[in-house]
Structure 1
Amino acid sequence: MKPRAVVFAYHNVGVRCLQVLLARGVDVTLVVTHEDNPNENIWFGSVAAVAAEHGIETVTPADPNGDELRAAVRRAQPDFIFSFYYRHMLPADVLALAPRGAYNVHGSLLPKYRGRVPTNWAVLNGETETGATLHEMTAKPDAGAIVGQTSVPILPDDTAQQVFDKVTVAAEQTLWRVLPALLAGAAPHLPNDLAQGSYYGGRKPEDGRIDWAQPAERVYNLIRAVAPPYPGAFIDVGNTRFIVARARPVPVGASANAALANLPPGLHVSDNALFGVCGDARAIKISELWCAQDGKPLVITPSQFLQLTHSSRHS
């Protein structure tokens, strides 16, 4: 008899890991996912669409603590519960409905970067490595025993989306590799030593505000960490918000750094190019700058930036 599972899932990791379960012959009897938020940039795949393709019952409860969801999980009679980038913590009594265990995929190398948006935090903090972890779920977030991990590199110019794409593959690989032993009851459960790790909370779009007084490395890491399709690192000039969509640090010793070194921190135009001068006198070249017009991003040239900021400062 096939093992039965209820899957709580969203986003690309949810899509790929649900497909792994199906490919491994798991009988997924219920999928719990989210309604897409009309105010969110939905750039990722649909778990609900995958479930529909396979004829799997799908529910989208607003509250995972509701009695209706508990009843639906009981009816599904799972051996296992899996959570793949589902955005709510699951209560202990729901986890207990799976007699063979409840497991989550988290987008970091636990115990590091427990909590929310671990990929964005890892890029922001200048990490050179992250990955995906399959772990047992407990009442405390990202705190259960580790069943499997796969690491991926973070290259110096990787954006958070590029790293997230790697983490998605790492999640798929981890689940594919570990699942046979897990289903057989033979998977290792290794300690998750929280004292050796870290925890981070969620991030809001407003957290992307650039402080040019910071060192160039810190500013560049922020730009990479929230680059589109995330909300973007930004500055406000008057009533106009500018988003730094793509950028690259100017190498130490380059002539542009010398030419800009005496300018105050902030955005400047030099030789018909946009640069951000930072608090350590190093510069970041802005290769793509956006501003919002009629609710849509518009790419701004250096000359347009000068015109817009001049009018903003004198309006």
Structure 2
Amino acid sequence: MEKKKTIVVCAYHNVGYRCLEELLRQDADVAMVFTHDDSPSEEIWFASVRELAERHGIPVMTSDINLKENIELLKELAPDLLLSFYYRNMIREEVLEIPRLGALNLHGSYLPKYRGRVPVNWAVINGERETGATLHYMVAKPDAGDIVDQEKVAIEFTDTAFDVFNKVTEAAVKVLGRSYQPLIEDRAPRIPMDLAAGSYFGGRKPADGRIDWQKSAVEIYNLIRGVTHPYPGAFTSLNGKKILIWSARPTEGQGEPGRIVSSTPLLVGTGSGLLQIERLQEEESDELDATSFAGQTDLTGSSFGAN
């Protein structure tokens, strides 16, 4: 009987959890899992890869896979495949060369579009109508290796980044599910990636959620739904206080950018159109619906974002 192929997995977040689940469902021989310790400064709303691996008796490492001692460990394990699912560290070329059948990554976009960090958030912020999940070979350049398989998902105009992330997670599991056997049998396709047809985006910081009221109502709406819960949120200021806007929608009309033109409903002027705010929060206070907020705050003649 042929010896089972040995897999090393680098994984984190829901995509990592669900893809590790899929490997276990397919009876993969997962020899080790590299994951991350949760950050105390981050809202942990996703499932634990570490706990899943431990439940199945799989050794877990939370130190960086690129450390010298971990590279030596990998050489001893001599895995056939290395699979990465939302692992946050760039994996060095020296590591990528170890697995006999290659090292692959599951990326949360329809590559080559949205290479780089937080691709789901960027796709929503930029008003895209679709994105996807892509399984590709890893090379030194990020998200640039040959494609094995990919699956598109639709982005509805009312979807938040969280909604889209859940769709992408399901697409990722589907892609891995149909690619695993071809990979371990060394017959998976390799489709060269046309980087010129795509785009690269860097990571986002909470500070990048600041609203520019000169932009259109649709653009601001896309930012809000792209960083709303469980992400840090889009924000502005009012009377010298930081205000987080969690839910809004664009509507017809016009007003000076940032100027509150109505308190019930709460309508704000933008560079093009009006934004109707539905849920918001003064920093250090509770999140409120717009009616409740307007009832306890004097909005007469006020503007968001004014100094």
Classify the TM-score, shorter chain. over 0.9
Other structure's SS at 2:188 match: coil
Distance in 1, matches of 2:114 and 2:97, equals: 26
Partner of 1:173: 174
- Compute the displacement of 1:276 (Å): 2.4
- Compute the displacement of 1:308 (Å): 11
Other structure's SS at 1:13 match: helix
Partner of 2:279: 288
Is 1:21 paired with 2:23?
A: yes
Matches within 5 A, 1:109-188: 109-188=110-189
Q: Does the 8 Å contact 1:267/1:274 carry over to 2?
A: no
Is 1:298 paired with 2:287?
A: yes
Distance in 2, matches of 1:202 and 1:308, equals: 38
- Compute the displacement of 1:95 (Å): 1.1
Q: Does the 8 Å contact 2:279/2:287 carry over to 1?
A: no
Distance in 2, matches of 1:181 and 1:309, equals: 64
Is 1:209 paired with 2:210?
A: yes
Partner of 2:101: 100
- Compute the displacement of 1:187 (Å): 1.1
Distance in 2, matches of 1:18 and 1:214, equals: 41
Distance in 1, matches of 2:68 and 2:300, equals: 54
Distance in 1, matches of 2:265 and 2:21, equals: 46
Distance in 2, matches of 1:200 and 1:308, equals: 40
Distance in 2, matches of 1:277 and 1:134, equals: 43
Other structure's SS at 1:163 match: helix
RMSD, aligned α-carbons? 2.0
Distance in 2, matches of 1:309 and 1:140, equals: 52
Distance in 2, matches of 1:298 and 1:125, equals: 26
Flag the 1:68–1:297 CA change in 2: closer, same or farther, 3 A.
Answer: farther
- Compute the displacement of 1:74 (Å): 2.6
Partner of 2:14: 12
Distance in 1, matches of 2:29 and 2:205, equals: 37
Partner of 2:45: 43
Amino acid at match of 2:48: S
Q: Does the 8 Å contact 1:28/1:56 carry over to 2?
A: yes
Matched positions, count: 299
Q: Under a length normalisation based on structure 2, what TM-score does the superposition of the two structures give? A: 0.92
- Compute the displacement of 1:65 (Å): 2.6
Partner of 1:197: 198
Distance in 2, matches of 1:52 and 1:196, equals: 41
Partner of 1:223: 224
Flag the 1:309–1:97 CA change in 2: closer, same or farther, 3 A.
Answer: farther
Other structure's SS at 1:42 match: coil
- Compute the displacement of 1:267 (Å): 5.2
Deviations 1:14-70 (A, max 9, x none): 001111111111110110001100001111111101101101100111x44311221
Amino acid at match of 1:49: E
Q: Which of 252, 257, 264 is residue 256 of structure 2 equivalent to?
A: 264
Flag the 1:308–1:144 CA change in 2: closer, same or farther, 3 A.
Answer: farther
Deviations 1:203-257 (A, max 9, x none): 111111001111111111111111111111100234421111111122x3xxxx3
Distance in 1, matches of 2:263 and 2:56, equals: 57
Amino acid at match of 1:278: T
Q: Does the 8 Å contact 2:260/2:299 carry over to 1?
A: no
Deviations 1:172-221 (A, max 9, x none): 00000111111111111111010111101111111110011111111111
Partner of 1:33: 35
Amino acid at match of 1:2: K
Is 1:89 paired with 2:90?
A: yes
Q: Does the 8 Å contact 1:272/1:303 carry over to 2?
A: no
Amino acid at match of 1:290: Q
Distance in 1, matches of 2:259 and 2:46, equals: 32
Distance in 2, matches of 1:242 and 1:66, equals: 42
Q: Under a length normalisation based on structure 1, what TM-score does the superposition of the two structures give? A: 0.90
Flag the 1:213–1:4 CA change in 2: closer, same or farther, 3 A.
Answer: same
Partner of 2:265: 273
Other structure's SS at 2:176 match: helix
Q: Does the 8 Å contact 1:9/1:83 carry over to 2?
A: yes
- Compute the displacement of 1:120 (Å): 0.8
Other structure's SS at 1:177 match: helix
Other structure's SS at 1:301 match: helix
